[in-house]
Structure 1
Amino acid sequence: MARMTMIQALRSAMDVMLERDPNVVVFGEDVGYFGGVFRCTEGLQAKYGRSRVFDAPISEGGLVGVAVGMGAYGLRPVVEVQFADYFYPASDQIVSEAARLRYRSAGDFTAPLTIRMPCGGGIYGGQTHSQSPEALFTHVCGIRTVMPATPYDAKGLLIAAIECDDPVIFLEPKRLYNGPFDGYPDKPVVPWSKHPASEVPEGHYTVPLESAAVVRPGRDVTVLAYGTMVFVSEAAVVESGVDAEIVDLRSLWPLDLPAIVESVKKTRRCVVVHEATRTSGFGAELVALVQEHCFYHLEAPIERVTGWDTPYPHALEWAYFPGPARVAAALRRVMED
């Protein structure tokens, strides 16, 4: 075991798979010589050469289109879209080609590609560098959507994604790259070197793509969260004093519905937290599923704590995404009913 940041864990996953499988290739904007805008691929080109780790033009549609062809040919491409906000030019390749290839070919071809995308706020990137578009991907049949919250999960899930025969959207919360935030801009980041979830095996291992994790057991209310909001929810539990059980979804689709149902039936209350825009966000799907499967167990209305229905602001992003105070208020509300 070694202490790793999420950046180091992601790099380790790609390193392991590049060494283990000659069909794995890594490419994208600035991922080769430069090592990626967040340095997730630093050193990999020097180790494996320019035919395995290489730069590509600024053409997201081209990146994903080439990756679909590579996957059909037998390679396992790992593509980095520099920011999740940039995926829109590639949306037709993702939806019409990657997601449908297995079905359209009656199983003759697959698209075993992984598309890595840094997502969410925390760098004051505003509307063009800070979006959380996970709901757009979970709506598409044929692709998997993953968002880790810890270095351990990041490496295990990325290896599982690369080995998967289906296309995987791998969303990486930028605020967690170097350490878990406690949710406020005026407090320091807790470094991963002091967090137990930063202990990461150096070799090969996987985290199942369909599994959630209970990161904090509790008896009063279930909090469903993923990515950065796992740590914001932990801070909210401390602030509220409510004994909440926090379920880190990790895999957004396919979803670990049995784990969600088991937790909600135990606590009988539920709060859903995500950073993305509220309307038609992934939280709406979670609320619907909890309502369908746990209706007779619920003792209070389900609460949602999300980003606002506005364009993502540059200077006011800390007011945009949920902080511990907003989540704590929701926890107190569900306990009042």
Structure 2
Amino acid sequence: MSQITLVEAVTLALAYEMQADPRVLVFGQDVGLNGGVFRATEGLQERFGRERVLDTPLAENMIAGIAVGMAAQGLRPVAEFQFMGFIYPGLDQILSHAARFRNRTRGRLSCPVVYRAPYGGGIHAPEHHSESTEALFAHIPGLRVVVPSSPARAYGLLLAAIRDPDPVIFLEPKRIYRAVRQEVPDSGEALPLDRCFRLREGADITLIAWGASLKETLAAAEQLAGEGIEAEVIDPATLKPLDIHAVIDSLEKTHRCLVVHEAARFCGLGAEIAAQINEYAFDLLDAPVQRVTGYDTVMPYYRLEDSYIPGVEQILAAVRETLDYPDGGRR
């Protein structure tokens, strides 16, 4: 079995589900003839034809709206936005219609659509190409927000997203599209949505990160292990709804927590995770929940990208600050 990248795992999952379910179709700007700007849909039009892999005009509101209509009529559309920063013209359709379909029809109809978008910085892209606004979608009732962080999770979670009866925002961290390879069996086996993945066991501190930020978070955990500090690393994967029970289970061991994300700090998902920990597990904490995040600015151009994206040293500094926090003689 050959090893594949995250973006290749996306292609593999799309192809598997299109072969298995004739209701599944893919569309978006340049997804057919060119195979997508990152080649995530390469070869699909040749294999499944132009009726199931459709190139669209540059019209994001139309892409989002057509997906709602298709889903309402029994299809399972996978709509691609070239970059997350281009998704905003489609917000009216996504927020006002896709997210509300089940509630509006009192459960008579659902909206099984997947909206895919490459997201995040780190590839030296121009403006609007490096957005990390996952919290915007997580705030909307009726939407599920999923972020894979490895080839295996991209494959399994995308299959689960396509099979889900409700709309899923599937955000693919393009900074790690080709950063790592894994053996991924093309078995059609989906991974569970709404569940955290524990990527590393530890008893000293819980590190929570998703998407591309796991690269630096795992590197920091490895360095901490060399210093005798065992960090537990959790990938939420499904950001909405959040598996807070897995986080609490980890805190029962570690009693300290740090959340890492690339998105801006204010109202980022780290704030929601910290709030839920304070609400449901305050008595477990030996220190305040810390956050290492992007800044409350627009993602800068490529010369300053590395200064914006949280790095290993920032994570290490926050871990040490959290571990040094007085515990009031609790332990």
TM-score (norm 2): 0.95
Residue by residue, what CA displacement relative to the aligned partner does 1:8-57 show, whole Å, maximum 9, x if unpaired? 10000000011000000000010001000000000000000000111001
3-state SS of the aligned residue for 2:291?
Answer: strand
The equivalent position to 1:221 in structure 2, one of 185, 193, 205, is: 205
Structure 2 equivalent of residue 5 of structure 1: 5
Query: Which amino acid in the other structure matches residue 44 of structure 2?
Result: L
Q: Structure 1 residue 203: deviation in Å?
A: 2.4
3-state SS of the aligned residue for 1:107?
Answer: coil
| Paired residues for 1:1-337 under 5 Å | 1-179=1-179, 191-192=180-181, 198-240=182-224, 241=227, 242-314=229-301, 315-337=303-325
Distance 2:195 2:7 in 1: 22
Identical amino acids, percent of aligned pairs: 47
Distance 1:173 1:167 in 2: 19
Query: 1:271 touches 1:304 (CA, 8 Å); kept in 2?
Result: yes
Q: Structure 1 residue 205: deviation in Å?
A: 0.8
Distance 1:200 1:287 in 2: 33
Q: Structure 1 residue 126: deviation in Å?
A: 4.4
Q: Would you say how many aligned residue pairs link Structure 1 and Structure 2?
A: 321
Structure 2 equivalent of residue 187 of structure 1: none
Unaligned runs of 5+ in 1: 180-190, 193-197
Structure 1 equivalent of residue 328 of structure 2: none
Unaligned runs of 5+ in 2: 326-331
Structure 1 equivalent of residue 329 of structure 2: none
TM-score (norm 1): 0.94
Distance 2:195 2:185 in 1: 19
Residue by residue, what CA displacement relative to the aligned partner does 1:183-216 show, whole Å, maximum 9, x if unpaired? xxxxxxxx42xxxxx1211120101111111101
Query: Which amino acid in the other structure matches residue 288 of structure 1?
Result: A
Structure 2 equivalent of residue 184 of structure 1: none
Q: Structure 1 residue 239: deviation in Å?
A: 3.4
Query: 1:146 touches 1:253 (CA, 8 Å); kept in 2?
Result: yes
Q: Structure 1 residue 2: deviation in Å?
A: 3.8
Distance 2:247 2:109 in 1: 33
Q: Structure 1 residue 243: deviation in Å?
A: 1.3
Query: Which amino acid in the other structure matches residue 189 of structure 2?
Result: Y
Q: Structure 1 residue 125: deviation in Å?
A: 1.7
Distance 1:284 1:208 in 2: 25
Distance 1:237 1:11 in 2: 31
Query: 1:239 touches 1:325 (CA, 8 Å); kept in 2?
Result: no
